[in-house]
Structure 1
Amino acid sequence: MRDTSKPPLLRCRNVGKTFPTETVPFLALDGIDLDIDRREFVVFLGPSGCGKSTLLYLIAGLENITSGSIESGGVAVTGPGTDRGLIFQESSLFPWMTVGENVTFGLKLQGVSLARRQEVASELLRKVGLSDAGDKRPDQLSGGMRQRAAMARALALRPEVLLLDEPFAALDVQTRSKMQDFLIEVWRDSGASMLFVTHHIDEAVALADRVVVFTARPGRIKSIVPIDMPRPRDPRSPDFRALTDHLTDLLRDEVDRAFAEQERVS
């Protein structure tokens, strides 16, 4: 249950994003109003091209908003900040660095001593189950292990919110399920809020406190669905299936609209 007596960690008000093109400007997001509480796990769900990832990048400060406002901790977002960590679909680890060096790269930029960086790397790699991987290169790790290392790197700066753009998209079904369980443990241990983009309805129900359902382009919020189920969640349970059915119904028209738009463009 959300505690609305406290100010939200993140606040989006009438957020819009338009990308310039050679012809007609492209409206990606329109009129986004959304609050994210501290320690909350929120999933963005919608058809391809609806602006889920765009909103994530706006919150991260990697893109500028066209209209409206975004605040993090009561401060306007005008660019990237250590209060917000971002994890992409690919791990984006530096291949020439060891895993340990990757994890503490941000701390090195901040001038943190080598001894302290090594201490942080050891602690975080232990938390993500990679204690023996600190001296390895990223290409020596599996896809799931690289994403865990990317989480450790993001957590090294102690962000208040972790932004995840389909981080498990490239993983097989079994590894994806394990990574979902792992992410819940990281979320509980870190105390950070999580914003997670996915196309998978089952994944949304497995992870979220709330699911934000987006319309087809231009992306608007169609519905916000709270999920009040204890974790871990059994995907075979009647409550789980009822929620996936409800979200499927909410998305059906939006997916049809998105396909129709793609056919017009092509």
Structure 2
Amino acid sequence: MTEQAFADVAPKRCGQPPLVTCTGVGKTWETDGEPFVALRDIDLEVARGEFVVFLGPSGCGKSTLLFLMAGLEQATEGRIVCGGAEVHAPGTDRGLVFQEASLYPWLTVGENVTFGLKMQHVPKDRRRQVAQEILERVGLSEAIDKRPDQLSGGMRQRAAVARALALKPEILLLDEPFAALDVQTRARMQDFLIQVWRQAGVSMVFVTHHIDEAIALADRIVVFTARPGRIKTIIPVDMPRPRDSRSPAFHALADRLTDLLRDEVDRAFAEQERIK
């Protein structure tokens, strides 16, 4: 194993307790008809400093589990513990990045980044200092006084990541944050996110539909079944970073994941047709 590869996986081997533990987690929504079971029997741990990717077909509950971990939704079965405390509501220990950047258009980039600090009554000068430090980390130091509509899509998502980092969370939860970006920008944003992960030392849980994206980013890939979502398997990715998508190892893992997901995608399509 190369020195860089060891640096990427070392946080998971230091003997610390997991940062996040999901035990028997399920989520069911009551409807006018049959109950809608989104997730069932989820047992999962996320280590401190680990990069975990959720991969599965549309509607399998990946984002639902992310929102349960964030405290935006409540599990109907089981429990989720983060940093030793059971999750019942959002907290500053967990940062969340959505598919859309969701920046306030009337605020500057710097004001968006430090909005959470403003809600905590942090003085204006200190907020400005934090914004400068974090925006420099994500390569947006010159955008601090710009409005979100003056930024490209990739820059807006970098600002959204910066906003999540401003509160110094222990874990970042990312719900397909690069889905709307073109292929070239997506690849650059993946490199950017790995750099931020290394620098910040946070855990990351990242939701995607894209097999290549999962391989490029993850320490471990959690493969979900079709709804009701269960964990089908968890695959460690032992390739050193940066990962060459043209390498035989990359292609072999992509083929394995494609085989694992084929039946689940077919089941998901059949379920969607049944609902229609």
TM-score grouping bracket, smaller chain normalisation = over 0.9
Select which of 136, 147, 160 maps to 2:157: 147
1:118-157 pair list within 5 angstroms? 118-157=128-167
Q: Cα deviations across residues 31-58 of structure 1 (Å, max 9, x unaligned)?
A: 0000000000000000000000000000
| Counterpart for residue 24 of structure 2 | 14
Partner of 2:270: 260
Corresponding residue to 1:109 among 109, 116, 119: 119
Does 2:214 align with 1:204?
yes
How far did 1:3 drift?
2.3
2:67 corresponds to 1:35: no
Partner of 1:189: 199
Match of 1:56 among 42, 63, 66: 66
RMSD: 0.8
Which residue in 1 is equivalent to 2:5? none
CA distance in 1, matches of 2:145, 2:240: 38
Moved more, 17-26 or 196-205: 17-26
Give the secondary-structure state (helix, strand or coil) at the position aligned to 2:13.
Answer: coil
Give me the identity figure in percent.
73
Segments of 4+ moved more than 3 angstroms = none
Letter in 2 for 1:213: V
Aligned counterpart in structure 2 of residue 221 of structure 1, from 231, 250, 258: 231
Q: Could you say if the C-alpha distance between residues 4 and 24 of structure 1 is closer, same or farther in structure 2, counting changes exceeding 3 Å?
A: farther
Residue 6 of structure 1, CA deviation: 2.1
- Residue 103 of structure 2 is aligned to residue 93 of structure 1: yes
- Shift in Å at residue 263 of structure 1? 1.3
Pick one of 158, 170, 174 that aligns with 2:180. 170
Q: Secondary structure at the match of 1:132?
A: helix
Cα-to-partner distance string for 1:68-95 (whole Å, 9 max, x where unaligned): 0000011000100000000000000011
Q: 232, 244, 249: which is aligned to 2:242? A: 232
Worse overlay, 30-39 or 110-119: 110-119
List alignment gaps of at least 5 residues for structure 2. 1-8
Unaligned runs of 5+ in 1: none
Q: Which amino acid aligns with 1:161?
A: I
Q: How many residues align?
A: 266
Q: Deviations over 1:209-241 (max 9, x none)?
A: 000000000000000000011100000000000
The letter for the 2-side match of 1:100 is G
- Residues 107-159 of structure 1 show CA distances to partners (whole Å, capped at 9, x for unaligned) of 11111111110000001111111111111110111100000000000000000
**Displacement after TM superposition at 1:5 (Å):** 3.0
**Deviation at residue 4 of structure 1 after TM alignment:** 7.4
